Amino acid sequence: MAEILRIGIAGVGTVGASVVRLLAQQDEALQARTGRKAVVSAMSARDKAKDRGFDASSIRFFDDPVALAASEDIDLFVELIGGDEGPARASVEAALKHGKSVVTANKALLARHGLALAALAEEKRVALAYEASVAGGIPIVKTLREGLAGNSIERVYGILNGTCNYILSKMETEELPFDVCLKEAQRLGYAEADPTFDIGGFDTAHKLAILASLAFGTEIDADAISVEGIERVTLADLKAADELGYRIKLLGVAQRTPHGVEQRVHPTMVRKTTSIAQVMGVTNAVTIDADAVHELTLVGPGAGGNATASAVVADIADIARGVRSRPLGLPRAALSKVKRVEMQRHEGGYYIRLAVYDKPGAFAGIATRMAERGISLESIVQRGRGGDQAGAPVPVVLITYATTEKLVREALDAIVADGYVAERPQSIRIERE
């Protein structure tokens, strides 16, 4: 019989406990597929006595995850602690330095230190696997790194944060304001007490940085991504999108351009007839545009104990059968540098919502500021009335033809400086087929 694969797990919360249970449930099937028995022999967690829904009596407990990572009692280290520094980073580095393969679900760690960790894994000739770090149960890492090796990828984009997708879906379907839907997401455990990382787009940016590296052979660099969250999306925006035949989604987009790889995270209007527009609730979706397969969309649960555990166990199975792919597809030394690329001309145009003071010359002044930057307007719609007071702000929606993010920002800054509007303008990209 093949040697047993001894696994050490650091971080035995919802996902970690699901991993232990899933390994036990699939024990015979995994042995048949890999030719090797995988056993959780050690673990590390904050509370040793906590009931995690499985028998831990035969599992050695470590107070220190770094000590677990370096222990001779394990062959494979699974990091489920979270965070880009502290014990997560220290324990992963310790495991790799001691010649042990690592499985992690930690996108923040990979976004900040993935290059160094990949180089260390290559040096020690061990695996660094992280399928669970992006889009939960969707096998997007393996798809990009191995499944599409015969393709040249032009664009990868998708819904990468279930919290944001849940909030936007609930706002649209139940006509509830953002703050109410956020509180409900927190109550259900979809959002943290401090939701900034999710709703600000930073979680999506970390995941996008990983996908862009795999898709385009570039270094991981979350700082090269333009990021905008969903905090300013209102019911008025969602209703306007609906009337225009669109839905609003927070998308992470990485695409090849003549100037480099453009990476961006922002709310986007997507046509209702597209597959990605049908993805509601906490579900994730990733679309890949490539030369051979053309368009490929993967949809599935983006979070949750069982979904994430499924991806972790898939990585464990690969390591058990002896699969050791290069962590980032290419050797670390072959990855190209990445820089922040200015957002290119956007063929879908922009939706812009303004609260315009009802006074002579305001509309003409706004049109002039747009024209000065070569921005053509497809339509101007006054949505409702201002208040009863003379000169009160009037809600106005502009739809532009193709233009660039830079020019839109410049025009809106000028409109604000002119005093034509009562609040900061809202602008959302429109994706057209």
Angle of CA points 13, 17, 22, to nearest 5°: 150
User: How high is the pLDDT of residue 118?
Assistant: 97
Give per-residue pLDDT as tens, 326-380: 999 999 999 998 877 777 666 779 999 999 998 888 989 999 999 999 999 998 8
| H or E stretch covering 167 | helix 162-174
Which residues share a beta bridge with 185?
Answer: none
Q: Read off the DSSP letter of residue 257.
A: E
Q: What percent of the chain has pLDDT over 90?
A: 81
User: Is residue 111 predicted with pLDDT exceeding 70?
Assistant: yes
**Nearest Cα to 380, choosing from 364, 366, 369, 396?**
396
Is residue 129 scored above 80 in pLDDT?
Answer: yes
pLDDT in tens, 280-326: 999 999 999 999 999 999 999 987 889 999 999 999 999 999 988 99
The whole-number average pLDDT for the span 110-128 is 97
- pLDDT attached to residue 209: 96
Indicate if 272 belongs to the active site.
no
Is the confidence at residue 89, as pLDDT, over 80? yes
The SS3 call for residue 9 is: strand
Percent of the chain with pLDDT over 70: 96
Report the pLDDT value the prediction gives residue 397, as an integer from 0 to 100: 92
Residue 20: alpha-carbon gap to chain centroid:
26
Q: Tens of pLDDT along 373-396? A: 999 999 888 866 655 565 688 999
Which pLDDT does position 37 carry in this prediction?
A: 95
Catalytic position from the list 207, 239, 272, 339: 207
| pLDDT score for 259 | 84
**Cα gap 228→424, rounded to integer Å:** 14
pLDDT band at 28 (very low <50, low <70, confident <90, very high): very high
Structural domains in the chain? 5-133 (3.40.50.720), 140-301 (3.30.360.10), 350-431 (3.30.70.260)
Separation of alpha carbons 198 and 164, rounded Å: 7
Q: How confident is the model at residue 272 (pLDDT cuts 50, 70, 90)?
A: very high
Amino acid of residue 381: V
**pLDDT for the residue numbered 257:** 87
| pLDDT score for 382 | 81
What average pLDDT does this structure show over 161-188? 96
Q: What pLDDT is attached to residue 258?
A: 86
Mean predicted lDDT score pLDDT of the chain = 92
CA distance 127 to 35: 18
The pLDDT value recorded for residue 283 is: 95
For strands 101-104 and 128-129, give the pairing.
parallel
Query: CA-CA distance, 282 to 299, in Å (whole number)?
Result: 11
Residue 2: its pLDDT value, please? Answer: 67
Round the CA-based radius of gyration of the chain to a whole number and report it.
24
Rounded to an integer, the average pLDDT of 418-422 is 94
